[in-house]
């Protein structure tokens, strides 16, 4: 009768070894009635043993468990950081769903309700401290709350907007994120320095790789929004997720 010795599949080693007695290997089969005998054992007994070994082997087809110590679960997988404020927070499930269904990107959403551009400043170092790795792409929609604050009589001149927005993107540029996409904001009240204009300038300087013009893209769809600040209704959340997929495909091949 053969024996089975089990091993481990965690390290991709052989997980089962079938040891056949020498006599069984050297003895030719003989027919007795309706049964076939191999070296003193019925064929059915051998088949049971061999099937058991096959089941064990099949259950441990070599693969890397993502929670296995020492395994980098991001290795070989393109990684995108999606950043923003409450607009991104409200749409994050749709963003992750669209990216998972239509692309190979692994998605990390870094957003918070009420976040200002200061929440992405270089001193916060989100790329290296929060994640522990440098993503392959960053696509960020930030500035709506700053625009609203400026509209409430805060002093927000060109120098202030330049300092805040430049600090957002310089962290990703210096960290070596190869694809950096800034999303235009919908809410830009008259009389304040345009954040979207500064985004366009940073693209021309190379600090930003591309501009995703969500403001222009969504202009014909007022039903996507809950208010003038650009907070998203359900159709808008779905559209925003699809929009980000398109922008990553266009600018981060």
Q: State residue 139's pLDDT score.
A: 96
The pTM assigned to this predicted structure is 0.69
For residue 187, the SS3 value is coil
Average pLDDT, consecutive stretches of 10 residues, N- to C-terminus, the chain (253 residues): 40 33 43 45 54 47 34 69 94 94 89 86 56 85 90 73 89 90 92 89 96 97 95 97 96 90
How far is it, in rounded angstroms, from Cα 26 to Cα 39? 8
Q: State residue 27's pLDDT score.
A: 45
How many helices (H) and strands (E) the chain has is answered by: 8, 10
Q: State residue 44's pLDDT score.
A: 54
Domain-by-domain residue ranges, the chain? Answer: 3-59, 79-251
Fold (CATH) for 79-251: Rossmann fold (3.40.50)
Q: State residue 121's pLDDT score.
A: 67
How far is it, in rounded angstroms, from Cα 205 to Cα 197? 13
Q: State residue 154's pLDDT score.
A: 63
Q: What tokens were used for 152?
A: 């409430």
């Amino acid at each position: 009768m053969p024996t089975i010795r089990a091993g481990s599949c965690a390290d991709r080693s052989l997980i089962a070894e079938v040891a056949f007695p020498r006599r069984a290997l050297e003895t030719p089969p003989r027919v007795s009635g309706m049964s076939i005998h191999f070296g003193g054992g019925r064929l059915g007994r051998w088949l049971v043993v061999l099937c058991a070994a096959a089941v064990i082997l099949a259950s441990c087809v070599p693969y890397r468990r993502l929670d296995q110590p020492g395994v980098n679960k991001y290795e070989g997988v393109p990684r995108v950081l999606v950043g923003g404020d409450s607009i991104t927070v409200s749409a994050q499930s749709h963003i992750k769903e669209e990216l998972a269904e239509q692309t190979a990107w692994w998605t990390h959403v870094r957003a918070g309700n009420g976040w200002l551009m200061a929440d992405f400043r270089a001193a916060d170092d989100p790329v290296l401290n929060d994640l522990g790795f440098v993503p392959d792409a960053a696509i960020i929609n930030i500035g709506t709350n700053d625009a609203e604050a400026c509209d409430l009589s805060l002093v927000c001149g060109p120098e202030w907007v330049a300092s805040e927005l430049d600090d957002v993107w310089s962290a990703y540029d210096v960290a070596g994120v190869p694809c950096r996409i800034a999303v235009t904001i919908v809410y830009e009240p008259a009389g304040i320095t345009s954040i979207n204009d500064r985004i366009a300038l940073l693209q021309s300087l190379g600090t930003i790789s591309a501009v995703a013009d969500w403001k222009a893209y969504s202009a014909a769809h007022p039903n996507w929004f809950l208010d003038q600040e650009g907070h998203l209704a359900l159709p808008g959340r779905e559209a925003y997720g699809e929009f980000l997929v398109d922008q990553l495909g266009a600018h981060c091949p």
